Structure 1
Amino acid sequence: MSEADAEPAEPTEPTPGRTEVWIEKYRPQRLDEIKGHEDIVPRLQRYVTQDDLPHLMFAGPAGTGKTTSATAIAREVYGDDWRENFLELNASDQRGIDVVRDRIKDFARSSFGGYDHRIIFLDEADALTSDAQSALRRTMEQFSNNTRFILSCNYSSQIIDPIQSRCAVFRFTELGETAIEAQVRDIADNEGIEVTDDGVDALVYAADGDMRKAINGLQAAAVMGEVVDEETVFAITSTARPEEVEAMVEHAIDGDFTAARAALEELLTDRGLAGGDVIDQLHRSAWTFDIPEQATVRLLERLGEADYRITEGANERLQLEALLASLALENE
C-alpha cells in the first residue's frame, strides 16, 4: 500500500518534548466549533440531525474550512466509527480514472454494518481529469443507495455540470477578520502566549482570510520570543507592512521612479517576497491607499496586466518594475 493509500492514523497523545502542529491540534471536531460560516454550518447540521445527507460540494479558497467541515460531518454521523466509514482522497495526487474506478468503487462496495451509507471525501476535486469526472458521475449514480460523496474544490467551474447538479453546493468565502481574530486569541490563551493587539492585527492581515496561515503564523512567531507582536509576525510570515507597500506606490505616482524601485528592491531582496506576493498585497490594499481614486484605477489596471504576464511566465521583477515605471511616467 502506498503512502497516499494509507488510512489516516489514529490520534495519539502528545509525546513529551515534541511540538504539535497547531492547525491539527485546534482543528474543530464538530460543526458547531467552526468559526466564520454562520450561514453554512446550520444547514449542514440539519442534514446531520435529520439523517438526510445528500451529495455535497464545498467550493472556495484554501484554509476556509472545507476539509474541516467534511470530517466534522463524518464525526457527527458515525461517532467513534467515523474513520471506518469515511474515505478521504486527494484528487491532485490521484487524478486518474483508475482511482475513481478502483479505490472509490472498492470502498463503496465493501460491507459495513449499522449505517445506511458511508462517506467518500474527494479533496481538490477540480484537479480530476475530465475522464475521471465522467467516471465519478457514473459511480455516484451506481452507489447512491449506500454512499454519499463530498467534493472539495477551489473552483467549482472546473467541475462538470452533471456532477454539480447531483450535489448541494456550498460556497465557502474567505474568513472574516472577526473569526480569525477570535481563533488566534483562543489559541494564544490556551498556549499561554502573550500576543499584542497589533500582533493579532498583523496575523489577520497576513492570513488574508486563510485560517491555516493565521494559525501557522502564530505558532511560528511564538517560538521567536516571549511576546508575539507586529514586528515578529511580519518578519516570520514574509509579509510587507501595508504602509511599506503604500509608500512604494506613492513614490511611483509622485513620479519618483528611483525611490519606488528601491522600495521594490527591498521587498524582493531584503524581505524575500515573491513577485506574486507583492501583487497580491497591492491588490488587497489598493483601495485603502491614501491616493486619488483615478490613481487607484490606473494601479489596478497595471496590476491586472502584470499579473497576467507573470502567470504566462514573464520575469516577476521586470514586470513589477514596468508597473511602477508606467505609474511614474503618467505623473511626470
Structure 2
Amino acid sequence: MAPVAPTSQQWVEKYRPRQVKDVVHQEEVVLTLTNALETGNLPHLLFYGPPGTGKTSTALAISHQLFGPELYKTRVLELNASDDRGINVVRTKIKDFAAVAVGPGVSGYPCPPFKIIILDEADSMTEDAQNALRRTMETYSKVTRFCFICNYVSRIIEPLTSRCAKFRFKPLLDNMLSSRIQFICREEGLSLDSEALTTLNHVSEGDMRRAITYLQGAARLYGSSLSSDNIISISGVVSDNVVHSFLQACRTGLFDQAQKAVADIIDEGYPVSQILSQVCYASFSSSSQVDY
C-alpha cells in the first residue's frame, strides 16, 4: 500500500478534544465543567489519574471555552511542573501572573473575572514549592484559579488538595478507544483490521495518547494498511512467541534451558519491565495464546 502522506502535525494534537463535551468516559468532570461554563463560577481543580485519559485536554478545553482565543494568552498560564517545579518559580512566574488584575471580557464567551493557572505534572513539584503555592492560592483566590494535573494524587500535599475540587480520570474502555481510533482511521484514510484494532487496545492500556501515537507511527512506517504485527513492531511490545518460549523453558524445570531463554532475551535487548508484564499476563491468562 502507498505510504501515508507525511504531515508535520502530530495526530495527538490534531484530534485533541476542543470542547469539554467531547471528553469521553469522564462524566463527572464534564458535568461539573459544563455547569461552570454556564455560571462562570469555577473552583480550584485537581485532575488525577493515568496518563492519556484526557486531563490536560480537559483543562485546555475549559480554558478556551471560558475566554476564547482573544483572551486566552492573557488569562491562562500553562506550566509543566516537572520542568518548573522549584520554589523560585512559585515566587516569581506564578505569583506575578496570579497577582495581575483581570481586564474586561469579550462578547460571546463567559469570561469570568479570574485567570487560570494550569500546572501539568504537579506531582513533580517539590514539597517546598507546594507549600509556597498554598499561600499564593489563599492570597489571590479572587482573581486566579488553579488547575493541578497529576498522575499520583498522593504526591500533592493535603493543604493543596483540600482547596480543590478533585476529579479522578479513569482509563478509557476498549470500546471508547476503538471508536476514536476508527474515526481517526477514516479521517486519515487508513485500513485497520479487527485484529490490529484489538492489539492496539491491548498495547495502549487505556491510554488514548499512546494509542494515537502508535497508530501514527505505524502509518508512517508501514503505509495505509496496518496489521497486528505492524502495531506490535511500532509499540515495542515483545512478540508473544518470545514470551511463550521463555515460559515453556521455565516450566521444563531444566536450568540450562531456562538460562538459554534468558540469555536470548538479554541478547535481543528487550526491556525487562515489558517482559515481566507480558509474562504475568500470559501466566494468568486462561487461554493458551497471549492475545496482543
Contact 1:58 1:150 in 2 (8 A): yes
CA gap 1:230/1:49 in 2 versus in 1, 3 angstroms: same
Q: Helix, strand or coil for the counterpart of 1:234?
A: helix
CA gap 1:126/1:261 in 2 versus in 1, 3 angstroms: same
Tell me the residue number matched to 1:230. Answer: 228
Name which of 79, 97, 101 aligns with 1:89.
79
Give the superposition deviation at 1:127.
Answer: 1.1
Which is worse superposed, 273-282 or 252-261? 252-261
Give the superposition deviation at 1:196.
Answer: 1.2
Distance 1:70 1:209 in 2: 19
Q: Helix, strand or coil for the counterpart of 2:148?
A: strand
Superposition CA RMSD, Å: 2.2
Give the superposition deviation at 1:183.
Answer: 1.4
Contact 1:240 1:267 in 2 (8 A): no
Tell me the residue number matched to 1:29. Answer: 18
Tell me the residue number matched to 1:191. Answer: 188
Distance 1:143 1:284 in 2: 49
Tell me the residue number matched to 2:108. Answer: none
Give the superposition deviation at 1:111.
Answer: 3.3
Q: 1:99-147, CA deviations, whole angstroms, 9 ceiling, x for partnerless residues?
A: 1111111111223322311100011111111111110001010011011
Tell me the residue number matched to 2:137. Answer: 140
Give the superposition deviation at 1:243.
Answer: 5.9
Distance 2:261 2:286 in 1: 16
Contact 2:101 2:143 in 1 (8 A): no
Tell me the residue number matched to 1:104. Answer: 94
CA gap 1:204/1:123 in 2 versus in 1, 3 angstroms: same
Contact 1:64 1:173 in 2 (8 A): yes
CA gap 1:257/1:162 in 2 versus in 1, 3 angstroms: same
Give the superposition deviation at 1:286.
Answer: 4.4
Tell me the residue number matched to 2:66. Answer: 77
TM-score by length of 1: 0.76
Q: 1:197-249, CA deviations, whole angstroms, 9 ceiling, x for partnerless residues?
A: 11111111111121111111101111213311101111111112456434533
Q: Which amino acid aligns with 2:224?
A: E
Distance 1:240 1:173 in 2: 26
Distance 1:108 1:238 in 2: 43
Tell me the residue number matched to 2:9. Answer: 20
Give the superposition deviation at 1:287.
Answer: 2.8
Tell me the residue number matched to 1:245. Answer: 243
Tell me the residue number matched to 1:204. Answer: 201
Q: Which amino acid aligns with 2:246?
A: M
Q: Helix, strand or coil for the counterpart of 2:63?
A: helix
CA gap 1:116/1:152 in 2 versus in 1, 3 angstroms: same
Q: Helix, strand or coil for the counterpart of 1:120?
A: strand
Contact 1:194 1:228 in 2 (8 A): yes
CA gap 1:283/1:41 in 2 versus in 1, 3 angstroms: farther
Distance 1:284 1:145 in 2: 50
Contact 2:189 2:224 in 1 (8 A): no
**Residue correspondences, number:** 275
Distance 1:257 1:22 in 2: 47
Which is worse superposed, 88-97 or 42-51? 42-51
Structure 2 gaps, min length 5: 106-111
Structure 1 gaps, min length 5: 1-15, 292-332
Tell me the residue number matched to 1:161. Answer: 158
CA gap 1:40/1:287 in 2 versus in 1, 3 angstroms: farther
Q: Does 2:212 correspond to 1:221?
A: no
CA gap 1:241/1:43 in 2 versus in 1, 3 angstroms: farther
Tell me the residue number matched to 1:311. Answer: none
Distance 2:14 2:67 in 1: 21
Q: 1:275-305, CA deviations, whole angstroms, 9 ceiling, x for partnerless residues?
A: 12222333455432548xxxxxxxxxxxxxx
Contact 1:200 1:230 in 2 (8 A): yes
CA gap 1:156/1:284 in 2 versus in 1, 3 angstroms: farther
CA gap 1:136/1:198 in 2 versus in 1, 3 angstroms: same
Fraction of identical pairs, as percent? 38
Contact 2:46 2:148 in 1 (8 A): yes
